[in-house]
Amino acid sequence: MTNGSNARELDLDSQIQLLSRIQFLTRFNSNLIQITGTEGAGKTWLAQHYIEHYSQHCNQALLLCHPAQTDSQHRSIVLKQLVNQPLFNDQDPLIQSLERMLEGHRCNVLLIIDDAHLLSPVLIAELWAVITRAQSEPLWQINVLLFSQTGRLNKYLDQVSHGQGQMPLELEISDLTEQEVQTFIEVVLSSDALDANGRRELKEKAALAEPKPRALMQLNNTDNNMANSSSRTLSPLALLVVVLAILTAGVVFWFFPANDEPAPSANNTIVTDTAKENLKTGHYDDGDTEQSATIAAQQAKKLALSSSDRAIDDARVLPQEISSEGLTVGRNDDSQRIVVPSQVVDAMLSEQALETTQSNTDVNTTDVNTNDVATASNDSVRSQHQTAAPALPTQQETSVPVVNVLGEELKGVNSRHYALQLAALQSLSTAKKFVAEHKIQNIATLYETRRKGEAWFIVITGDYKDIVTARRAELLLPDSVQAVQPWVKSYAQIHREIEQAR
């Protein structure tokens, strides 16, 4: 309802009378009371203020409704707050679970439901059944307060109480009086750095606005946004400093250009690639070698002409001279070829022993010596392949896939704490777009979960010790984020949802 600690100091007569009347009705009997008001009447603040200052003598439970919640989630949230280590089925009606858990025990329970107009007719009927059962049970005193919009629950409450001789009670939140509006403005502005003119203008705007807490708070937010935007405006001196810095950088870049030494490296790369192609062929081809050498020379000449305006000693980066001859099998210095018999080639391919090849092949001494050299080189290459081959499975075995889940760092937060869920979207890009549109990159956190096999990306914010603190923090969010109706979510549930994404 208000910002900061001023909300605790704000006491308005109409609201104090309403809370005192609720306390009187719930002190000795079991009742279902509907507190209604228009949009922005301060229902949420009244619910939280009643829990803090008017109901310390009973066991409290607070349910903050959200359109995305189901009846099972509503039952689970309520029952977990009423009983320590509860054992229940969230598909069973509330009265059935309470009778099983509270059998033979005395209880004094206060259940407060904010935005109760979002409850389903089934859950409203279950709450009425709990009240009728508590009125006939001497050990039970259960009161349910439904904070809802005006007229949204009348139809369902009339249906469940028809023919029973009693009706749910209804209290209405009235608009603020003129004196209360002035008090509201004074309390809100007690910590704001506004001058006399600013206070006078704000009071004039408040006189024209609706006499409701939300409308008055929007006036305050507007003034704060205007003050923040004006404080962020750059001064002319700062702009001048930025322009001078840019001009200085341009002058330095103009008179001290960078040294372009990578140009010779391009020539080096081209010549090296050409030499590698000759090595890979494994045979001697005069035409290809001469053509590749000619192309490399032409490219080197072009690069030299393009860089002729700069005299740079690049002898240290020049490649080795290109050999005009390729690599061939059995080449000698006197340019004589040695023919390897086909039996020797078959023996190398089938990995047979060298003695078998020698017994079946009659060659001259020069051929045998050459074959020994070729066989030894082939055996050494084969042994290297055999020793290197087992190394691959070892590397594959040591690599263990690790699954990184978005939002894994949230598991370090205390599971008893709470956060505000802002949105639930089915794609990561849409979730990031939501964060960017509302300009909440500094406070929003994303995590991934699975629902019925489909991926969902949840946007949350905050780390709060209790539900009341989380609900207060919602009022500090930007107006566009408050418009999507954030709701409180426990970190225990967030941890479970992150585990579901694995």
Backbone angles phi, psi at 294, to 5 degrees: -65, -45
In the three-class reduction of DSSP (H, G, I as helix; E, B as strand; rest coil), residue 455 is classed as strand
Per the CB < 8 A criterion, the answer to whether 77 and 127 are in contact is: no
325 band by pLDDT with thresholds 50, 70 and 90: very low
What separation in angstroms does the CA of 159 have from each of 113, 154, 280, 440? 20, 9, 89, 44
Domain boundaries, the chain: 7-174, 179-224, 332-378, 408-500
What separation in angstroms does the CA of 381 have from each of 57, 124, 129, 339, 374? 88, 82, 87, 21, 11
462 band by pLDDT with thresholds 50, 70 and 90: very high
Report the share of the chain in percent with pLDDT over 90: 26
Altogether, the residues listed in the chain come to a count of 502
Residue type, 225: N
Whole-structure pTM value: 0.46
Check if CATH label 3.30.1320.10 holds for domain 408-500. Answer: no
- pLDDT at 397 (0 to 100): 40
Over residues 118-144, the pLDDT tens digits come to 999 999 999 999 999 999 999 999 999
Instruction: Please state which of the four CATH numbers 3.40.50.980, 3.40.50.300, 3.20.20.370, 3.40.1360.10 is assigned to the domain occupying 7-174.
Output: 3.40.50.300
Residue 85, exposed/middle/buried by CB under 10 A (0-12, 13-18, 19+)? exposed
- Residue of 229 and 155 predicted with greater confidence: 155
What does the alpha-carbon distance between residue 130 and residue 168 come to, in Å, rounded to a whole number?
Answer: 13
Q: Which residues of 295-334 are buried (b: 16+ CB within 10 A; e: fewer)?
A: ebeeebeeeeeebeeeeeeeeeeebeeeeeebeeeeeeee
